[in-house]
Structure 1
């Protein structure tokens, strides 16, 4: 169960999937409380219907507002809950993690600091640098705003850089929705790009200019791209909070990307990125997956023992 995006549509081609509405407390902060409440009502109805029909024995969730009602109803119906907080939360638990924590049987943080600030959490840090050779690159820049919210400022920065001659390479710009303003005609504009095609573009792109979302950053680093992150700003009305600044600063502190700050200095960021030796990195959750398998086997054995004892009583 998830929200519908390019990535999740790709997943749904291979696995049974249910899409539920996007719900976030930040929608109210951005002046859209009616939209938030309407989405919440739809999510409640759809989530209950799905959980009542499916009756999962266990739920593993990474959070976000769209997950709260499925987790709540699954717990009410007797499911075990594993709550894995987003890798995007380096310094402490997300709002979802704090709200849903009482429902969880197991809590997992993905950084040491976040674990210290979330009582009762186990810590599994999946971040890994890769020693593999960087793929052969073309003179190509890929700019993406992600799949959840529009991001006009990033679009304008890319257009500005192209018009000023700072991006002599071919530029592909993924905008998430149709543009309301014109950009340099040499920029190839795409509203949405299937996830498999994004992978093909990243394999060829030398530079990636993206918002501060973990998914966009990590998929670019997996392909050895030079990454420039433009984190969305809450004060500018671009996101529900400033967690993308936390993400971008954490990756920049590890020497993995160049960050565009409040000054919108895209020229400086491009010069810095071009002078930086690119690195390859990924998320490798093998240890966490192993722990989850062990937990699921234990719960299965406990349930079998309980059922066996019940039959003996009868």
Structure 2
């Protein structure tokens, strides 16, 4: 049992819910960050707002959830402005309906674009807003962060460098190395492109590395909806969150895209990790934040990074030659901060609300 599960189980489950909390995040690593904050929101009356992804659907099986249409400003940068505007209009209306129906007291968001209108509507309707800038941002704010910050009552960043942009933000660096025994591993390589989009370049790199004899283990690739599936490798489009975690517990080697959720989940299980960041120049992502996050993780000695099949072959050789580090995101300090923040708001809201 990990530390976060222990913390969650130790909360006072007999306490009645006092606040109506909206947990708003897009459907990949952003929403996983909110799951790590369960001790903050679980004792309250809460609901999730996210995009309709495999991970979000898994969450909806256990928690009250509402879905909004995907859109991101980066779609226009990739040549699809009409598609972006259509998604934004749908999202604007959907977000308004959700916030008018749910009327949250507090909205906590980890980004990104798909929940911006949820932030806007919640603030207009009187909710307190907590904006936690994505852990994928070490050096400069995200576009979502720049847009949402003016509406936030509390901003949280996860690197000291970002506090120069928002001096009033609270700073919490969550990364820490684990000293727990490494899970028993199998001769198994698991490759994952993440919960939202296909990533055919990563899939092709894995297939070529295997063909060149650089991969001896059994291989499974999660390719994303509509992703390319090599004929001689076992693939699956999507996986439920629990099954994804099982594969990560068992895998000796993990090759993943540069999303924080995939990286942290693999590192937490003591996997040898090679990351292939999605790059804007290939139209794989809306900006190069994955190159930023994977570079920061590699500087700390946690992962290897590859952008071509040749680099992947070399990275696999290097990662197999050293002792893997088990790393997790430890939000305990952030949880304590948010609990104190919500406690203060809770007291003020209780004085304003009429007695029943």
Looking at structure 2, the residues matched to 9 and 106 of structure 1 have their Cα atoms a distance apart, in angstroms, of 29
Shift of 1:6: 2.2
Looking at structure 1, the residues matched to 117 and 227 of structure 2 have their Cα atoms a distance apart, in angstroms, of 34
Shift of 1:288: 1.1
**Which residue of the other structure, out of 230, 238, 241, is the alignment partner of 1:183?**
230
2:289 corresponds to 1:243:
yes
- Which structure 2 segments of 5+ residues have no match? 1-48
Shift of 1:184: 4.7
SS in 1 for 2:119: helix
Higher strand proportion: 2
1:132-147 to structure 2, matched below 5 A, reads 132-147=180-195
SS in 1 for 2:274: strand
**Which residue of the other structure, out of 45, 55, 60, is the alignment partner of 1:7?**
55
Distance 1:98 1:178, change over 3 A: closer
**Which residue of the other structure, out of 110, 121, 137, is the alignment partner of 1:73?**
121
Looking at structure 2, the residues matched to 72 and 128 of structure 1 have their Cα atoms a distance apart, in angstroms, of 34
Shift of 1:192: 0.5
Looking at structure 2, the residues matched to 149 and 121 of structure 1 have their Cα atoms a distance apart, in angstroms, of 31
* Equivalence for 1:260: 306
**Which residue of the other structure, out of 139, 143, 148, is the alignment partner of 1:95?**
143
* Equivalence for 1:199: 245
1:29-40 to structure 2, matched below 5 A, reads 29-40=77-88
**Which residue of the other structure, out of 214, 219, 232, is the alignment partner of 2:278?**
232
Quick check: which has more Rg, 1 or 2? 1
1:276-295 to structure 2, matched below 5 A, reads 276-295=322-341
- Which structure 1 segments of 5+ residues have no match? none
Larger CA deviation: 143-152 vs 297-306: 297-306
Shift of 1:115: 2.1
SS in 2 for 1:177: coil
Shift of 1:273: 1.1
* Equivalence for 1:108: 156
**Which residue of the other structure, out of 292, 297, 300, is the alignment partner of 2:343?**
297
Shift of 1:259: 0.6
- TM-score, normalising length: structure 2: 0.83
Superposed structure 1 runs of 4+ greater than 4 Å apart: none
Looking at structure 2, the residues matched to 93 and 109 of structure 1 have their Cα atoms a distance apart, in angstroms, of 9
Contact 1:91 1:117 in 2 (8 A): no
Looking at structure 2, the residues matched to 150 and 183 of structure 1 have their Cα atoms a distance apart, in angstroms, of 13
Looking at structure 1, the residues matched to 259 and 114 of structure 2 have their Cα atoms a distance apart, in angstroms, of 17
- TM-score, normalising length: structure 1: 0.94
SS in 2 for 1:251: helix
Looking at structure 2, the residues matched to 247 and 28 of structure 1 have their Cα atoms a distance apart, in angstroms, of 23
Distance 1:264 1:119, change over 3 A: farther
* Equivalence for 1:217: 263
Contact 1:221 1:281 in 2 (8 A): yes
Shift of 1:87: 0.7
Deviations 1:210-267 (A, max 9, x none): 1111000000001100000001111111110000000000000000000114685111
* Equivalence for 2:321: 275
SS in 2 for 1:128: strand
Deviations 1:142-183 (A, max 9, x none): 001112222111010001011111111100000002344x52
SS in 2 for 1:247: helix
Looking at structure 1, the residues matched to 266 and 293 of structure 2 have their Cα atoms a distance apart, in angstroms, of 15
Looking at structure 2, the residues matched to 116 and 138 of structure 1 have their Cα atoms a distance apart, in angstroms, of 45
Provide the aligned length of Structure 1 versus Structure 2.
307
Larger CA deviation: 224-233 vs 254-263: 254-263
